[in-house]
Chain A
Amino acid sequence: MTPALGPVDLLGAWIAIFLTMAILSFLYGDNPFYKLAEHLFIGVSIGYIVVVQIKNNLWVKLERPLSPWDLVPAILIAMMFVKLASRKLAWLGRFPLAVVVALYAGQSVTGLVGSDLGDQIKTASRSLIVDKIDLNSAPPGELSQVPGVSPAIAAKLVIERTARPFTSLDDALSRPSLTASERADLADERGLLVGTEARAATESNRVDWFGVASGVLLLVALLTGLLYFYFSIAHTGVLGRASRVGVWILMVGFGASFGYTVQGRIALAIARAQDIRGTFVSPADAAQIHGEVAAIVSSVIIVAGIWIWERRRAGVAAPGEAS
């Protein structure tokens, strides 16, 4: 028989559901239940941060023998707090800030220059002429880039072509070592613009026109987008029109970002609904928690509480109107 959840676990689950409904009550309007949940969250978070940082960060460092170098951060922290004691010596607080700023600036420059500038410029500068992947000669890693070709399929294609070179895409994709589900996956990806037909061939030096068009479009988008932020010349004439294209490119980018943000926010709501339903615990535990019932009871309590609170607010306002 499944062990029953302890009273503390059960209470914890119900409190979590109540607080979820309390937070969601903000969608109706600000109310005391929302404020209660919000303050609880802030208080518990801060308490948790303090304990975790002391346990995992500070105590770990204090447990080992201290060296003279350990005095350096202590002195810097003390210098930061000097300005609380004396305004005359407040200038001492600038040195630790300078150390932190310089440290992060140095790290960021070396990190960002390589990853955000160097590699990105290298990718943007690559040749616009893109060749189709030759199924008869490409290494397995490159074969995996063909739509529908997994590493397992790529390995099989390498063996097949060694036995008998491919004469066409149909020949390659219908070899006997491929399973029915692998053939179905490949059939799904056949397509003229972006699918297997567009990206792969059975001979070398065949131009991938979709790849070329993509490359040109990306280059135009990059240059016009950057041009929008070039303010040394007035945006008129050809430059103005190119800058306008850049604005549209940026708006497409912001739209994509907005779409992903919407997805993220809805995912948060979905997780709360799944949690109330008991998706993340075992069926036995979910049966004991009765999440849906707890949610309904919490909602009734909150709705009733908000109704009473609004009536009391209206009652307090009414005597003033009567006089």
Chain B
Amino acid sequence: MHWSDRLQRFDRRWIFLIMALAIVIPLYVPIGLPIKARPMTKAAFNAVEELHAGDVVLVSMDLDPASTAELEPYYRAVMLQLKRKGVKLVFATLWYQAPPLVARWLRETVDVAIAPPGTPGYEGLPDRAYVRNQDYVYLGFREGKQNIILGMGANLPGVFGGKTDDGTPFADIPWLRNIHGLGDFKLMVLVSAGAPGAKEYVQFAQNRYDLRMVAVTTAVSVTDLAPYYQAGQLLGIVAGLAGSAEYEVMVGKPSIGVQGADVLNAGHGVVIIAIVLGNLAYFASRRRKK
């Protein structure tokens, strides 16, 4: 049998096995390839760097457990960046799967310091533990997709009944009293796994209220959002796991994202080799038949 025919009849389960090895081995034997941030990741980073202490930022956590692989590294990195800037944070979510995840992430990244003074391997400014209803609030989940976005744009307290998720009235939190709609936030950080998410915020709120927004999204959604970045509707986009790794490097605390990026390179290598071999086999076979 000709090598091209043998290659075309190759059992794909061997490719699955090779891919599994390409994913597992770099986790134990890191390759350490360099990570260079792309312009849209840098733009997202710079947008957060321009904030000042006391600015109020909305973090919309529109994700589910399946997307944490790509979004969690960025979330942890941007939380460190936001907290070391001393901004006030408002968390909300439009996805029903998100609340338990948000509750855990708040406990692990906002209620405690991510990088206190003396953190090994970290040379940037330290952050501190934030106090609920003083430094940050969690508004909770609301069902309604773009209707909620439209409502938040016009009357944010009305959408959440004037209370945070734990029942604290907005009026009891001094820095929240001036937040009437999305336009009152200095910046919006959109942790978006799909719809409703970054795209809906751009379509239904950004244009109407001239909002400043950065987004992290799963890799499959990046091509949909890239035109918004090019048009300036999004100040920056962090693209999936690779973008999250770049962001971790920029913030100065490499972690699960950088570890994952190493493995991603190995996985991509396997895919590229498979595609090249597949094409070689196809064209060789076609030429042989001619």
User: A245-283 vs B: 1/0 string, CB under 8 Å?
Assistant: 000000001001100111110111111111001011000
Residues of B260-282 at the interface with A, using a CB-CB cut-off of 8 Å, are: 260, 263-264, 267-268, 271
User: A116-160 vs B: 1/0 string, CB under 8 Å?
Assistant: 101110110000000000000000010010010011100000000
Give CA–CA (A268, B19) in the complex, Å: 13
**Would A264 and B219 count as touching, CB distance under 8 A?**
yes
**Would A123 and B13 count as touching, CB distance under 8 A?**
no
Least CB distance, A29 to chain B, in whole angstroms: 9
**Would B260 and A263 count as touching, CB distance under 8 A?**
no
Query: Given that A115-B206, A260-B222, A277-B27 are contacting pairs, would A152 and B264 also be in contact in the complex, using a CB cutoff of 8 Å?
Result: no
Among listed B2-10, B64-72, B110-118, B168-176, interface-contacting one = B64-72
Contact of B263 among A64, A147, A257, A273 (CB under 8 A): A273
Counting CB contacts under 8 A, is A52 at the interface? yes
Query: Given that A49-B96, A56-B143, A279-B256 are contacting pairs, would A270 and B231 also be in contact in the complex, using a CB cutoff of 8 Å?
Result: no
Among listed B53-61, B131-139, B184-192, B236-244, interface-contacting one = B236-244
Query: Given that A107-B146, A115-B233 are contacting pairs, would A270 and B267 also be in contact in the complex, using a CB cutoff of 8 Å?
Result: yes
**Would B23 and A267 count as touching, CB distance under 8 A?**
no
Q: Inside 8 A of B227's CB, which chain A residues have their CB? A: 120
Query: Given that A28-B13, A115-B206, A271-B68 are contacting pairs, would A56 and B141 also be in contact in the complex, using a CB cutoff of 8 Å?
Result: yes
Most buried by A among B150, B223, B242: B223
**Would A264 and B259 count as touching, CB distance under 8 A?**
no
Most buried by B among A57, A141, A263: A263
**Would B68 and A263 count as touching, CB distance under 8 A?**
no
Query: Given that A52-B99, A57-B143, A150-B49 are contacting pairs, would A257 and B268 also be in contact in the complex, using a CB cutoff of 8 Å?
Result: no
Give CA–CA (A28, B267) in the complex, Å: 19
Per DSSP, are chain B's interface residues mostly helix, strand or loop, or mixed?
A: helix
Give CA–CA (A48, B168) in the complex, Å: 27
Most buried by A among B36, B219, B256, B267: B219
Counting CB contacts under 8 A, is B46 at the interface? yes
Contact of B218 among A115, A123, A264, A273 (CB under 8 A): A264
**Would A264 and B96 count as touching, CB distance under 8 A?**
no
Give CA–CA (A115, B202) in the complex, Å: 7
A-B interface pairs (CB < 8 A), number: 135
**Would A263 and B242 count as touching, CB distance under 8 A?**
yes
Considering only CB atoms, which chain B residue lies closest to A277 in the complex? Answer: B27
Most buried by B among A107, A272, A277, A280: A107
Query: Given that A261-B219, A268-B66, A270-B241 are contacting pairs, would A107 and B263 also be in contact in the complex, using a CB cutoff of 8 Å?
Result: no
**Would B263 and A264 count as touching, CB distance under 8 A?**
no
Per DSSP, are chain A's interface residues mostly helix, strand or loop, or mixed?
A: helix
Contact of B23 among A150, A257, A270 (CB under 8 A): A270
**Would A107 and B204 count as touching, CB distance under 8 A?**
yes
Considering only CB atoms, which chain A residue lies closest to B243 in the complex? Answer: A263
Counting CB contacts under 8 A, is B122 at the interface? no
> In which size bucket is the chain B interface?
35 or more
Counting CB contacts under 8 A, is A305 at the interface? no
Interface size (A, Cβ < 8 Å)?
48
**Would B231 and A122 count as touching, CB distance under 8 A?**
yes
Least CB distance, A54 to chain B, in whole angstroms: 11
Residues of B36-58 at the interface with A, using a CB-CB cut-off of 8 Å, are: 36, 39, 42, 45-46, 49-50
Contact of A56 among B99, B207, B219 (CB under 8 A): B99
Q: Inside 8 A of A120's CB, which chain B residues have their CB? A: 227, 231
Give CA–CA (A253, B50) in the complex, Å: 33
Least CB distance, A172 to chain B, in whole angstroms: 18
Q: Inside 8 A of B207's CB, which chain A residues have their CB? A: 111, 114-115, 118-119
Query: Given that A266-B264, A280-B256 are contacting pairs, would A111 and B223 also be in contact in the complex, using a CB cutoff of 8 Å?
Result: no
Q: Inside 8 A of A114's CB, which chain B residues have their CB? A: 203, 207-208
Contact of B70 among A123, A141, A262, A264 (CB under 8 A): A264
Considering only CB atoms, which chain A residue lies closest to B202 in the complex? Answer: A115
Counting CB contacts under 8 A, is B32 at the interface? no
Counting CB contacts under 8 A, is B230 at the interface? yes
Counting CB contacts under 8 A, is A112 at the interface? yes
Query: Given that A120-B227, A150-B49, A260-B222 are contacting pairs, would A274 and B27 also be in contact in the complex, using a CB cutoff of 8 Å?
Result: yes
**Would A274 and B259 count as touching, CB distance under 8 A?**
yes
Least CB distance, B130 to chain A, in whole angstroms: 21
Q: Inside 8 A of A27's CB, which chain B residues have their CB? A: 13, 16
Give CA–CA (A56, B204) in the complex, Å: 23
- Additional A-B contacts beyond A115-B203, A115-B204 (14; CB < 8 A): A27-B13, A53-B143, A56-B140, A56-B142, A107-B204, A114-B203, A114-B207, A119-B232, A122-B231, A147-B39, A263-B219, A269-B267, A270-B241, A273-B23
16 A-B pairs whose Cβ atoms sit less than 8 Å apart in the complex = A52-B96, A56-B141, A107-B150, A115-B206, A150-B46, A151-B50, A256-B223, A260-B222, A263-B241, A266-B264, A268-B66, A269-B20, A269-B267, A272-B69, A273-B263, A277-B27
Interface residues of B (CB under 8 A from A): 13, 16, 19-20, 23-24, 27, 36, 39, 42, 45-46, 49-50, 66, 68-70, 72, 96-97, 99, 140-143, 146-147, 150, 161, 200, 202-204, 206-208, 218-220, 222-223, 227-228, 230-233, 239-242, 256, 259-260, 263-264, 267-268, 271
Closest 5 CB pairs of A and B: A271-B69, A264-B219, A114-B207, A266-B267, A267-B241
